[in-house]
Every structure is written in structure tokens, then in C-alpha cells.
Amino acid sequence: MRHISTTWVAVSASLLFIIFVARVLPAQSQRSERYTEGAMSPDSSLLYAPRELYQAAEAYGPDGRTAYVTARFTFDLVWPLAYAFFLSTGISWLLVRTLPEHSLWQTANLTPLFAASFDAMENVATSLVMVRYPARTPGIAAAAPVFTFLKWLLIGASFAFLLIGVLLGLLRAARENLR
């Protein structure tokens, strides 16, 4: 990833991310509010228990569960690609310019890809619970919160790596200006 993270690619990924955050996320959030009606949404929660996932499935009702699953396999297929592209290329672009080529930290650009993978696993698990509701799927319902937590942990770590890259870049620029 670090070899393809040219300035043009990093800028393109940033613009795509900004457009998604400014235009697509608010519209999706409004749609989501209509079917969740204030109930917990698993994909935006950090921690939840399987019973809370079943409570959400009950609260959504049949139409809400259908809308939830549809969103997981339309919008939520593209959104993880957008944030992973932005974070991976941004981290790569910054770290390749601030750290030695063989630094282990260069692999930090893989973190967003793992986040997107857990996001996909979360989508499958929560959708299975929604589709099968009121039938119980205990193993899947227990795995869903783990996938969600790991997704958010890795997204947070990805943004931390991005911030570290920015700070390293600023330090490097300051050192060069002092010379």
C-alpha cells in the first residue's frame, strides 16, 4: 500500500472520505433513524450484549430489520472501503515520508484494512441475527459485539496512527526549518 500512496492517491482518498462524511453519512443516518426509532444500533455502538442486539431486532420490527439488512449490504459495503482507503493511504503517505523504509511502523497502514474486515464480519453477524429474528442464533449473536468492538478499536488505532504521522511530519518540518 505504501508504494501506491502517492500524493495524488492520498488527496483523492481524502476527498472521497470528506464527501462521504459530509454527504452520504448524514443521509444514511437519517434513514437509519426512521427504522431504529431510537433503539440501539449495533454498528454504531462500542459495547453491547447479545440480548441488546435481540432487543434492537425486536424494536426495529419487520420493516426495520429489512431496512437494516439492506443498509448493511449496500451503504455499509462502500463505507468501510472509503474509510479504509482514506486511512491506509493517509497513514502510508505520512509514514513513508517520516520513518525509515524498513521500520515496523510502516505496517500501521494495514490497521484500517483489519478494521474494514471486522466491519464486514459485524455486518454479516448482525444481519443474520436480524434475518433470523425471532429465532435465536446464540453463537452469531455473541460474535457480533466482539466484531463491533474490534472494528472500533482498529478504527481508533488507525486515526491515532494518522495523527502520529501528522505529528512526525510536523516535527520533521520543524527540524528542517531550524537547520
How high is the pLDDT of residue 1? 59
Pick from 63, 55, 62: nearest CA to 38: 55
pTM recorded for the entire structure:
0.93
Q: What share of the chain is helix, strand, coil (3-state, %, to 5)?
A: 85, 0, 15
Single-letter amino acid, residue 76? D
C-alpha cell at 103: 521500520
Q: Quote the pLDDT of residue 4.
A: 77
Q: pLDDT per residue over 122-163, tens digit each?
A: 999 999 999 999 999 999 999 999 999 999 999 999 999 999
Measure the CA–CA gap between 19 and 166, rounded to whole angstroms.
21
Residue bearing cell 478504527? 155
Count the alpha carbons within 13 Å of 28 in the hemisphere toward its beta carbon: 20
pLDDT in tens, 81-122: 999 999 999 999 999 999 998 999 999 999 999 999 999 999
Looking at the predicted structure, is the pLDDT value of residue 37 above 90? no
Measure the CA–CA gap between 33 and 155, rounded to whole angstroms: 23
The three grid cell numbers given for residue 115, joined into one nine-digit string = 478494521
